[in-house]
A = this chain, B = another copy of it.
Amino acid sequence: MRDELKQRVYEANMLLPKYGLITFTWGNVSEREGDIVAIKPSGVEYDMLRQEDIVLVDLEGKVLEGALHPSSDLDTHLELYRNFESISGITHTHSEWATAWAQAGLDIPACGTTHADYIYGDVPCTRGLTSDEIREDYELNTGRVIVETFRELDAAAIPCVLVKNHGPFTWGKSAAESVHNAVVLEQAAKMAFVARELQGSGPERISQSLLDKHYLRKHGKNAYYGQER
């Protein structure tokens, strides 16, 4: 079982270069199974990464298996797993369009059905961390500020966030689904940028009925997209 978990996390990490979401080692994917989290090791190049390099830790970050240091963003992942019960996979990248929105400190408005098919509302951008939050336990505090941002939001319905001046985190029911959502977010970020430039003051948001329709035709008990019904 641990080997299968590592294999899934290895494969999900390798999707990042495939989808053009990654430069050098600027990203990492993890998956939780029960109380075990498998995550990419820190600073290892993607074309050097092997299944056996994936590090296993418990939910407090204690290394259970693996010779390498886990990703320096581990504490952010763990804070999300501890707080968002519905999620079992997390992806962090510096993908360029989503990161640019994070640098601008702006939410990405839901203005099209591509967005609505996967993300049930605007993509929130966190507040900036305070100097204190940055100085000590920075990665843990990054997780905390994400959790704070979702106080009134449903992490199962909005599977992504922008950390201000940093970049996106996305999640899902598996490592693979969290990468899928990272691809969706990057496309949504690019198209929202172009639409905003075209409209001057930013695009009108999609109507609530259209948002409902698209999100719900792909998710939930009345979904009718795809082959499973």
Taking beta carbons and an 8 Å cutoff, which residues of A are in contact with B? 23-26, 41-44, 68-69, 72, 94, 96-97, 99-106, 111-114, 117, 128-129, 131, 134-135, 138, 165-167, 180, 183-184, 187, 190-199, 203-204, 206-207, 209-210, 212-213, 217, 224-227, 229
Contact = CB atoms under 8 A, between A and B. Distances in A.
Contact of A204 (B25, B105, B209): B105
B198 A198 contact: no
Given A203-B105, A209-B135, A195 B227 contact: no
A102 to B, nearest CB: 7
A60 to B, nearest CB: 18
Given A43-B226, A129-B210, A203-B105, A187 B134 contact: no
A72 B42 contact: no
Nearest to A196: B198
Given A105-B199, A106-B199, A112-B166, 8 more contacts: A23-B187, A42-B226, A43-B227, A68-B227, A94-B187, A103-B203, A106-B198, A134-B212
Contacts of A23: 183-184, 187
A11 to B, nearest CB: 15
B114 A26 contact: yes
Nearest to A130: B209
Contact of A99 (B72, B96, B112): B112
B106 A225 contact: no
Contact of A69 (B43, B129, B138, B227): B227
Q: Which of A68, A114, A184, A224 has the most CB of B within 10 A?
A: A114
